[in-house]
Amino acid sequence: MDLKSGYWQIEVDERDREKTAFIAPDGLYQFKVMPFGLCNAPATFERMMDSLLKGMKWKHCLCYLDDVIVYAATIEEHLRRLRMVLQCIRSAGLTLNNEKCFFGQSRLKILGHLVEKDRIHPDPGKVEAIQEFPTPKSISQARSFLGICSYYRRFVHTFADIARPLHELLKQDVKFEWKDDHQLAFARLKSLLTKDPVLGFFIPGDKTLIHADASGYGIGAVLVQIQCGLEKPIAYAPRSFTPCEKNYSTTEKECLAVIWAISKFRPYIFGRPFTVEYDVDVVFKSGRRHQDADCLSRNPLPKIEEETSEDIPFFNTITNFKEEKSKDPKVADIREEMGRRRDSTKFKEFNGILYRKNYDPLGKQRLLFIPKHLREGILKSLHDAPTAGHLGFAKTCDQIRRKFFWPGLYRSVRRYVSHCRKCQRRNSPPQRPPGLLRPILPAEIPFAKMGIDLLGRFPLTTQGNRWIIVCTDNLTRFTVTKALPSGEAVEIAKFLVEDVILKHGSPREIISDGGRSFLSNLVKEVNNLFMTYHLLTTAYHPQTNGLTERLNKTLADILAMYVEVDQKNWDNILPFVTFAYNSAKQETTGFNPFFLVHGRDVDTPLDAILPFLPDESAYDYVQNLVTKAEEARQLAKIHLTKTQDKDKSRYDERHRTVSYKEGDLVCIFTPIRKVGLSEKLLQRYFGPYRVTTRLSDFTYEVEPCVSRRSKRRQTDVVRVLRMKPYNVPDLQLENTTRDDSPTQPIADSDQRTCDQVYLGPVTRNRSKQNQRVSVSRKEGEMSRSG
């Protein structure tokens, strides 16, 4: 049933009629009844209908705005319910539209759906509109088509996966280009929605199943019931992953699909038994048969902190100092010495407590003598406690020596502070940085040795680019660049083949960082095909590929001079910037890269308008060109070598030589970032790690010691600049003992065992599927750019 001009059957309060005023040619008019177009009109009308049908809605009838549906299982019950609803409508003074009222129907069109006795499917009229929808030529047309289809997404199981290309096309800053994948999605949606998809009605009491699955782009769920011995779909629920969910592992995506499906179908399954079917086997065991894990879950072990505080027991012993001093045999020896030499003033005893004379005229007259077993508590209180601040040796020692005394105090404090675990992980050594410079020697011929790197991420351009791939020749400094949409392995491999190898020849060596795209199997196969040796920089040490890294800054500085305010034209400027760099003289070589490659200076646009005067024949020109090019390259190589020698001399003056043996324990400097935490308050070093292989004077292979969290052995190549010796806090220090000593004594560097603590990562990403080669194995780890 449909109300006749439903909005006009509701009067507007006289005080509010002025708010509906409108101007006509013959005057100003106001509505006496509720007009169409008011923002609160639908809510007001629905509220009125809900109040009118209170007690019957969802039991005998349904209502959506001015549409009222009365339903029943038998004709007699239908007539009874219909009479009740009509009486309510008559009592409210409402009228119906006779032309839009249909009684005793077995099928009904409502809200774009065709509802029958035991099924529901899309309105054939709407489906025909979808079938006749033309291929979109603009964003608005594509959005309209996707909006119509999305209304019926509950009828298509894999709607999210199929419509994904269309959703990607409608994203902000994406240029509208109708491609094959968009046409395929357009055609598939049409086909699936025009095949008259059918859904059943949920029947309480029938066996209910939920099918859930996840793909690479989204998740889908199906609510199914066993009705009359057959599986009948009740509802489909597809959706795409959010940007964060795309980073989930496969297991996490499958679990997300199950959780989301249960939440989506909660109105159907709440309080009812149901079965979830997905591609992970879960075996149910009752608590009686699951006694091992069930027992542990009911009696969990207390959480063990890495370091426990012992301040309270220590201060309890300090209050009973008279009894505690007798536990140290050294105190008895001093007392015996005092008995033999009564004229000695070095030690005195007051009230049964031993003191030593203080020879510092500015301090106390007497210093409390600390027995051996209490010295660790003193060191903890005046170094580890928050009131002590984990300060260095000098400050900690000054705090202790002004109040206490024991033999070897300075040595004990120095060892305790130098072996403090937290200090080692936070503080940098107060020395010159370790490791000397080992420059990468220049190549013999152009494009034999090259560095490659990705520069970005930049704002999305009108051509869809976000990254710059940069490739630099080690000898001539000649640079090849290209704007890329995503920086994926396919784009990098295509750049290497088309822009580098086919134009300048196959390089013998390529240096890059350990980025995911550079370590891909596709790039590896390209290198193998052209016999190119791929060298990787060590983690957190971009100086290995310093020539390319420095060039990145130069390119960014030049681009900043010419980009527009919205920074969306940088890819159009990039070829001109590269040309400017290649035609400029380099301080390290004494020539511009273009001259070293082509044997002549580049002709600029200015040269094109100047008069041309040939000064030699074509034959002489070719001969001189070859000669000058070779001479220039040899001079450039000499200049490079001299510059590298000067750089090495200056660098080595500010650094020191350090060497480690296999088995030595070290800490690794690892700059980490965590969301919500300040970088200034994070620890700088992680460890301990054990040196497994000495690759060169500059790089070592290390592995983490066994920790509680992982028993796996993972090795990594680390430059010596990031390493510092690790002093095990559990050493048996002279006159100092520690309660958290290791299970096995540490005898020498070949038999050391580490304290069991959480070991931080050496790198952010431990992907090792490709060869892990350190540049220092061959010709060094640092270069200088012009």
Angle, alpha carbons 136-140-142 (nearest 5°): 40
Highest mean pLDDT among 174-178, 345-349, 442-446, 503-507: 503-507
For residue 196, pLDDT beyond 70: no
Lowest mean pLDDT among 79-88, 171-180, 339-348, 675-684: 339-348
Angle, alpha carbons 86-88-94 (nearest 5°): 80
Binning pLDDT at 50, 70 and 90, where does residue 745 land?
Answer: very low
Please give the sequence-ordered ranges of beta strands (E in DSSP) within 65-111, or none if there are none: 67-70, 108-110
**pLDDT at residue 471, rounded to an integer:** 94
DSSP 368-380: EEPPGGGHHHHHI
Structure tokens belonging to residue 64: 């959506």
pTM of the model: 0.47
Q: In b/e form, how buried is each residue of 658-675, taking b as 16+ CB within 10 angstroms?
A: bebeeebbbbbbbeeeee
Lowest mean pLDDT among 10-14, 143-147, 401-405, 644-648: 644-648
State pLDDT tens for residues 665-696.
Answer: 888 888 777 777 777 777 788 878 888 888 88
For residue 763, pLDDT beyond 70: no
In Å, how far are 13, 35, 637, 650 from 644, measured between CA atoms? 89, 84, 11, 10
Write out the H or E segment, with its range, that includes residue 667: strand 665-669
For residue 734, pLDDT beyond 80: no
Binning pLDDT at 50, 70 and 90, where does residue 756 land?
Answer: very low
- Residues 412 and 401: their CA atoms lie apart, in Å, by 12
State pLDDT tens for residues 100-123.
Answer: 888 878 878 777 778 877 777 777
Binning pLDDT at 50, 70 and 90, where does residue 498 land?
Answer: very high
**pLDDT at residue 291, rounded to an integer:** 56
Neighbours of 85 (CB within 10 A): 20
- Percent of the chain topping pLDDT 70: 81
781 vs 387 pLDDT, higher one: 387
Residues 238, 153 contacting (CB under 8 angstroms): yes
Q: Strand 404-405 vs strand 366-369: parallel, antiparallel, or unpaired?
A: parallel
For residue 229, pLDDT beyond 70: yes
**pLDDT at residue 615, rounded to an integer:** 59
Average pLDDT value for residue range 612-640: 67
**pLDDT at residue 717, rounded to an integer:** 84
**pLDDT at residue 496, rounded to an integer:** 93
- Residues 622 and 600: their CA atoms lie apart, in Å, by 11
State pLDDT tens for residues 449-475.
Answer: 999 999 988 989 888 899 999 999 988
**pLDDT at residue 287, rounded to an integer:** 61
For residue 284, pLDDT beyond 80: no
**pLDDT at residue 300, rounded to an integer:** 53
218 vs 753 pLDDT, higher one: 218
For residue 476, pLDDT beyond 50: yes
For residue 273, pLDDT beyond 70: yes
- Residues 384 and 367: their CA atoms lie apart, in Å, by 22
State pLDDT tens for residues 53-71.
Answer: 888 888 888 888 888 888 8
Lowest mean pLDDT among 241-250, 453-462, 504-513, 611-620: 611-620
For residue 725, pLDDT beyond 80: yes
**pLDDT at residue 525, rounded to an integer:** 92
For residue 526, pLDDT beyond 60: yes
Average pLDDT value for residue range 148-175: 79
What is the layout of strands, in order, in the sheet containing 353-357? 347-350, 353-357, 366-369, 404-405
- Amino acid symbol at 604: T
For residue 243, pLDDT beyond 90: no
Structure tokens belonging to residue 134: 């033309």
Average pLDDT, the chain: 77
- Residues 676 and 173: their CA atoms lie apart, in Å, by 29
Binning pLDDT at 50, 70 and 90, where does residue 242 land?
Answer: confident
Residues 182, 169 contacting (CB under 8 angstroms): yes
Highest mean pLDDT among 435-439, 485-489, 711-715: 485-489
Neighbours of 131 (CB within 10 A): 11
Structure tokens belonging to residue 499: 């822009």
Lowest mean pLDDT among 219-233, 276-290, 406-420, 735-749: 735-749
Highest mean pLDDT among 86-95, 221-230, 709-718, 763-772: 86-95
- Percent of the chain topping pLDDT 90: 9
Domains and CATH numbers, the chain: 6-104 (no CATH), 121-277 (3.10.20.370), 325-419 (1.10.340.70), 449-609 (3.30.420.10)
